[in-house]
Each structure stands twice: as structure tokens, then as C-alpha cells.
């Protein structure tokens, strides 16, 4: 079912806004993670980890879910489909994977935030967990930029399903010969 143009534009607006917001929020999260890992100022470190938890729970997670859902609406409500073009399928799978990894990272984020709220973290406290937050945010940002690049350039390549669907539509549109 193809959406009406006004609904399609609104769905596209929601999708673009949530995805760009997600990218920006992850960039902020990354900056906070780097500050928390490298700063010598105890207050800066504590503030970074407390802010990271709030940013993750109340900004990044909702934006990731809206981006994922609005992307599905776009794929099922437009000519692109979810399974017709490789770039759409890859974009969906990367978005889904990013959302899953994000949800799995909420526990370590909350853990380190809880410790930061109770005590001062030194440069050696939980270094591996703190470094992991920087690496995951960096990887997440990279994946989101790849997803955005796929959206802009829309590389060629149809799936087998896409080819079958396209050929079926062509034969249905051809005038009946007798």
C-alpha cells in the first residue's frame, strides 16, 4: 500500500528528524564519554557520566526507536519497500543492530552513572567500562553515518524479491496481446 503524498512527506519528515537527532545525540554522548574518560576534573567526570545516562535514556533511545519505526513505515508505505533494494535492507538491519546494541549498553551506562553519583572516579576506576562507552559511541556514530550515506546515495542493486516484484509489475502493465 502506497501512502498518500502528504502522509508520505510527514512520515519522511519524522524519519529524517529522528535520525538526524539520533546522530546529534550520539555525538553529544561521545563528547561526554571522552570528557569522562580523559578529564582530570572530578566534577567534570561525574557530570559527564550523569549526563550520559540522561542523554541515553531520554534522548537517544526514544530517537532510535522513532527512527526505526518511521523507517519501517517509509519502507512499507513507499515504492522502495523493505526487501526490494539492498540499500534499504542494509539500512534497516544496521538501524536494528544499532538499536539493539544501544539497549544492551544501557546497563553499563547506568552502572557507571550510579558510581559517579556516589563517589569520585579516578582515572583507573572502571577504565575498561569507560573506554567501552567511548568505543561504542564512536562505532554507533559511524554506523549512523553509513546509514545516512545509504539514504542519500541509494546505491543500485535490487534483491531477488525486488527483481521478481518489478518483473511482475511490468508484465501486469503490458497490454494484453491476443
Residue 147 lies in a domain: yes
Residue 177 lies in a domain: no
Q: What percent of the chain has pLDDT over 90?
A: 72
Contact between 100 and 41 under an 8 Å Cβ cutoff? The reply is: no
Nearest to 33 by CA among 18, 59, 55, 62: 55
How many domains is the chain built from? 1
Residue 156 lies in a domain: yes
Contacts of 131 (CB under 8 A, 6+ apart): 37
pLDDT at 124: 59
Q: By residue range, what is the domain housing residue 156?
A: 5-170
Residue 165 lies in a domain: yes
Residue 136 lies in a domain: yes
Q: In angstroms, rounded to a whole number, what is the distance separating the alpha carbons of residues 73 and 168?
A: 23
Per residue in 93-135, pLDDT (tens digit) is 999 999 999 999 999 999 999 999 998 776 657 889 999 999 9
Contacts of 50 (CB under 8 A, 6+ apart): 113, 116, 117
pTM tops 0.75, yes or no: yes
Residue 149 lies in a domain: yes
Residue 178 lies in a domain: no
Contact between 130 and 70 under an 8 Å Cβ cutoff? The reply is: no
The pLDDT of 34-46, averaged and rounded, is 93
pLDDT at 28: 98
pLDDT at 126: 86
pLDDT at 177: 55
pLDDT at 95: 97
Q: If you count them, how many residues does the chain have? A: 178
Mean per-residue pLDDT of the chain: 91
Amino acid at each position: 500500500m502506497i501512502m498518500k503524498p502528504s502522509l508520505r512527506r510527514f512520515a519522511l519528515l519524522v524519519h529524517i528528524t529522528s535520525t538526524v537527532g539520533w546522530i546529534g545525540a550520539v555525538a553529544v554522548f561521545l563528547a561526554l564519554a571522552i570528557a569522562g574518560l580523559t578529564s582530570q576534573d572530578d566534577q567534570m567526570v561525574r557530570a559527564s557520566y550523569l549526563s550520559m545516562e540522561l542523554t541515553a535514556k531520554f534522548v537517544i533511545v526514544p530517537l532510535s526507536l522513532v527512527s526505526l519505526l518511521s523507517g519501517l513505515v517509509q519502507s512499507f508505505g513507499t515504492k522502495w519497500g523493505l526487501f526490494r533494494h539492498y540499500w534499504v535492507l542494509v539500512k534497516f538491519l544496521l538501524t536494528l543492530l544499532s538499536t539493539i546494541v544501544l539497549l544492551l549498553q544501557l546497563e553499563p551506562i547506568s552502572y557507571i552513572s550510579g558510581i559517579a553519583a556516589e563517589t569520585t572516579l579516578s582515572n583507573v576506576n572502571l577504565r575498561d567500562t569507560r573506554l567501552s562507552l567511548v568505543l561504542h559511541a564512536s562505532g554507533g556514530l559511524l554506523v549512523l553515518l553509513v546509514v545516512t550515506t545509504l539514504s542519500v546515495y541509494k546505491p543500485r542493486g535490487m534483491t531477488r524479491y525486488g527483481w521478481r516484484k518489478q518483473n511482475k509489475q511490468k508484465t501486469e502493465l503490458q497490454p494484453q496481446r491476443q
